[in-house]
Amino acid sequence: MEKLFKLSLLNQAFKAIISYPLRSFFCLIGIALGILSITLIIASIEGANKRALQLFSDFGPDAILIFSGSEQMRSARIRINTLTLDDMQAIKEHIIGCYEAIPMIPVRNMNVSYGDKKWRTLGIGSTIDYFTSWGWRISDGNSFSQEDVEQYNNVAVIGQEIVKQIFNGNPQSAIGKTILLNKKPFYVAGVLKERGISFGSMVLDDRIIMPITTAMREMLNERKYIGAIRARFYGDITSRINDVTELLRQRHGIKGESPNDFTIRTAEDAKQFLLVLQGTLVLFLGITGSISLIVGGFVMANLFMISVQERSAEIGIRRAFGAKKYHIILQILFECIIISIAGSVLGLFLSFVAGKLIIAYTTIPIFFSHKIFWITSLVATAVGIISGLYPARKAASLNPVEALFV
C-alpha cells in the first residue's frame, strides 16, 4: 500500500512540474548549465590522462630530446642553433647505453602550395630513422630512402593536416604529386599516419618530413648546425642525461656556472605539460560549474518556496485528507529530483555538442567515458535534494486549517 502511495506521489510530482512550466524551465536550465561544466571537467581530465599516456608511449620513456639554445633563450623565443651533427655522433660513440641518435632540423613557417591551394606548416629535416624512432607509420606511399638523404633529393613525406588543406583529405591523390615548398619543387613520396595530438597551437599532424641534407642545403643554406637530437638509451635515463650534459658542455667549451647552450627534454616533461593544461581546465571549468550549480540550486530553492506559497491550499487539502508530513516532503523532493535529473540529461546532451565543437576548433583533449553518466546523475540528484529540502519541510509544516484559507 505504501509503495502504491509513493507511486501516486511520483505521479503527482510529474503533474505539478507540468503545471508550472516556466518555473520548471528555469530550474532545468540552471541545473543543465552546471552539469554541462562538470561534464566538460570530467571529459577534459579523461582526455588529458589518455593523451598523456599516449604521448608518454610515443615519446618513449628511454628517450631524450636535446634542443639547440638554452632554457632562457627558448623562453624568450630566441632561436639559435648550437648543436651539430658531430655532437650527435659524439653522443652515439661516447655515452654508454646509447643505441640510437637521430638529427632533426626545423624549417619553420614553410609555405606549401599545390595548384591554387596554399598552406603554411612546419618542415623537419631528418634521416630515414626518424619514422621508426618516433613510431610514426606511413599510411600511404613510402618514406624517403637513404639514397635520397645522400643525394640531397627533394622528396617529402607529408602529414595528414597537409592532406586535408592541400589535397581535400585524400591521401592517395597526394602520392606522386609535386608540391612547392618555399617555391622549391618536392616529390610527395608518402603520407604520415594521423596522430591526432596537439600541444597548444601546434598540431603534430601539421608537418612535412624531408631528408636532413635537403633541408640543410636547399631550404636553410646550413652546413653545420642542427635544431635538435633525439637519443635513446639503455639503463637509467637520469644518469644518461647527466652524461650527455657533461659531454655537450665539454664539447661547447662551457665552464663553471655558465648556463648550458642546449635544452634537454624527456617524456616526463611532455606529460607535465598536459597535466598543467588539465589543471587549468579543472580550475576554470570547476569554478564555472560550481557557480552554475549553486545558482541553479538557489534558483530552484527560491522558486519552490514561491511554489509552496502558491500551493498552500492544495497542501492544506491533502493534509486534511490524511496526507502525512513526510508525504508532502517526498512530493516536493520528487519534483526537485525529477527536474534535476532532466537538467542533467539536457546538460549531458549540451556537453556532447560542446565537446564536438571543442575537438573540432581547439586542441583541448576531450574524452567521454561511462563515468560521466553516473557522476552527473549523482550530482544532479544531490542538488535536487539539497535545493528542495527546505521548501519541502516548509510545505510540510503548514497548518492544514490555515493553509486552506490563505
What are the DSSP calls for 26-89, one per residue? HHHHHHHHHHHHHHHHHHHHHHHHHHHHHHHHHH-TTEEEEEES-HHHHHTT-----EEHHHHH
pLDDT tens per residue across all 406 residues of the chain: 445 445 565 666 666 667 667 777 877 787 787 788 778 777 877 776 777 666 666 777 888 999 998 777 666 666 788 999 999 999 999 999 999 999 999 999 999 999 999 999 999 999 999 999 988 999 999 999 999 999 999 999 999 999 999 999 999 999 999 999 999 999 999 999 988 766 555 688 999 999 999 999 989 998 889 999 999 999 888 899 999 999 999 999 998 888 999 999 887 776 666 666 666 666 666 676 667 667 767 777 777 777 666 666 666 676 666 667 777 777 777 777 888 888 888 888 888 888 888 777 766 667 787 777 787 778 777 877 787 777 777 766 766 655 455 5
- SS3 of 232, please? strand
- SS3 of 179, please? strand
Distance CA 192, CA 268 (A): 25
Could you tell me the CA-to-CA distances from 99 to 137, 222, 249 in Å, in that order? 21, 27, 21
- SS3 of 266, please? strand
Domain ranges of the chain: 2-55+272-404, 83-260
Element (H, E) at 311: none
In 147-166, which positions are buried (b, 16+ CB within 10 angstroms) versus exposed (e)? ebbeeebbbbbbbbbbbbbb
Q: Which residues contact 386 (CB under 8 A, 6 or more apart)?
A: 297
DSSP codes of every residue in 83-148: EEHHHHHHHHHHSTTEEEEEEEEEEEEEEEEETTEEEEEEEEEE-THHHHHTT--EEEE----HHH
pTM of the model: 0.66
Neighbour tally for 297: CB within 10 Å: 22
How many DSSP H helices and E strands does the chain contain? Answer: 15, 14
The total number of residues shown for the chain amounts to 406
Nearest to 38 by CA among 245, 364, 344, 369: 344
Distance CA 293, CA 363 (A): 27
Residue written as grid cell 563515468: 371
Which amino acid would we find at residue 317?
I
Distance CA 310, CA 121 (A): 65
DSSP-derived letter for residue 227 is S
- The C-alpha cell that represents 157 in the structure block: 613525406
